[in-house]
């Protein structure tokens, strides 16, 4: 009897080891059946349900691992989609800012005009005092308009709005009555003062002793020069 129990135990252990190693029930049973003639049909009948149960547990473990792998993949997919969504939002924001920048450049380009080989920026919207306008031109890599001769004067005023007034680079800030080009530091190359009398004065009149900056303004159906208070806020022209 003890010998029979010992055989049964060894057969059982052999089957368990086989299943634990990845064998199926049938392969385990095949191994076990090799000892059946030693174990006897009775003990094998006792062991077989246990083998089936162990095989069932093995299948359940395999199924659980498959589900866990699926859950891992689902979590990774969700993580990737979250990152992708954030990336798309970032791209959309970047694209929006790019469009805004392009629109701004387009708007600015509308104000650029080419006359011969010279490029001008005509600020029709913003109004600034003479010093701020000068700085704005420098920001654009330019300077306030420096008219060199009558031909350039006529070419540029043909592009201007006659309803507006524009700062140019001429001033007598350094010495009253000496009108210099801010671009060259030399006496202005071209002057075209408004010829119409104004309160008994002709331009430049340095009215109230505060008019030291020159602008083009509309009088007599043309745009001609006048000295004005540099603190006035006017449109302006940059030359590149």
Sites of contact with Ca ion (CB under 5 A): 172, 205-206, 211-212, 226-227
Q: CB of 118 within 8 A of CB of 240?
A: yes
Residue closer to Ca ion, measured from CB, 172 or 239: 172
**What whole-number distance in Å separates Cα of residue 173 and Cα of residue 22?**
98
Q: Both tokens of residue 119?
A: 């490029």
63-69-71 Cα angle (round to 5): 105
Nearest in space to 202 (alpha carbons), one of 229, 224, 178, 231: 224
Closest approach, Cβ 95 to Ca ion, in A, equals 50
Pick between residue 65 and residue 176 the one whose CB is nearest to Ca ion.
176
Q: Measured from the CB atom, is 23 or 232 closer to Ca ion?
A: 232
User: Strand (E) positions, 53-158?
Assistant: 112-115, 118-128, 143-144
Packing angle, helices 41-110 and 2-20, rounded to 10: 10
**Closest to Ca ion by CB, 44 or 236:** 236
Rounded-to-integer distance, Cα 189 and Cα 213, Å: 16
Minimal distance in Å, beta carbon 233 to Ca ion? Answer: 16
Q: How far is the CB of 198 from Ca ion (least distance, A)?
A: 7
Q: What is the nearest approach in angstroms of Ca ion to the Cβ of residue 175?
A: 9
Nearer to Ca ion, 36 or 205 (CB): 205
Q: How far is the CB of 191 from Ca ion (least distance, A)?
A: 13
Residue nearest to Ca ion (CB): 206
Query: What letter would DSSP give residue 209?
Result: G
Q: And the tokens for 240?
A: 């590149």
Q: Toward Ca ion, which CB reaches closer, 11 or 226?
A: 226
What minimum distance in Å lies between the beta carbon of 174 and Ca ion?
10
**Three-class SS state of 219:** strand
């Amino acid at each position: 009897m003890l010998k029979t129990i010992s055989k049964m135990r060894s057969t059982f252990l052999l089957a368990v080891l086989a299943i634990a190693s990845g064998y199926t029930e049938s392969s385990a049973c095949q191994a076990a059946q090799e000892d059946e003639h030693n174990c006897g049909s009775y003990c094998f009948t006792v062991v077989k349900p246990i083998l089936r149960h162990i095989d069932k547990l093995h299948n359940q473990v395999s199924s659980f691992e498959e589900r866990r792998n699926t859950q891992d993949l689902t979590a990774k997919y969700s993580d990737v989609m979250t990152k992708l969504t954030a990336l798309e939002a970032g791209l959309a924001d970047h694209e929006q800012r790019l469009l805004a920048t392009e629109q701004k450049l387009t708007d600015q380009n509308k104000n650029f005009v080419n006359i011969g080989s010279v490029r001008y920026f005509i600020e029709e919207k913003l109004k600034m005092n003479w010093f701020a306008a000068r700085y704005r031109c420098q920001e654009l890599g330019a300077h306030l308009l420096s008219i060199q001769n009558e031909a350039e004067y006529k070419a540029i005023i043909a592009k201007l709005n006659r309803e507006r007034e524009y700062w140019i680079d001429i001033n007598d800030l350094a010495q009253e009555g000496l009108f210099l080009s801010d671009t060259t530091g030399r006496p202005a190359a071209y002057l075209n003062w408004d010829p119409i009398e104004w309160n008994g004065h002709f331009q430049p009149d340095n009215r109230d002793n505060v008019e030291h900056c020159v602008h083009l303004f509309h009088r007599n159906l043309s745009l001609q020069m006048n000295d004005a208070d540099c603190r006035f806020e006017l449109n302006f022209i940059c030359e590149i």
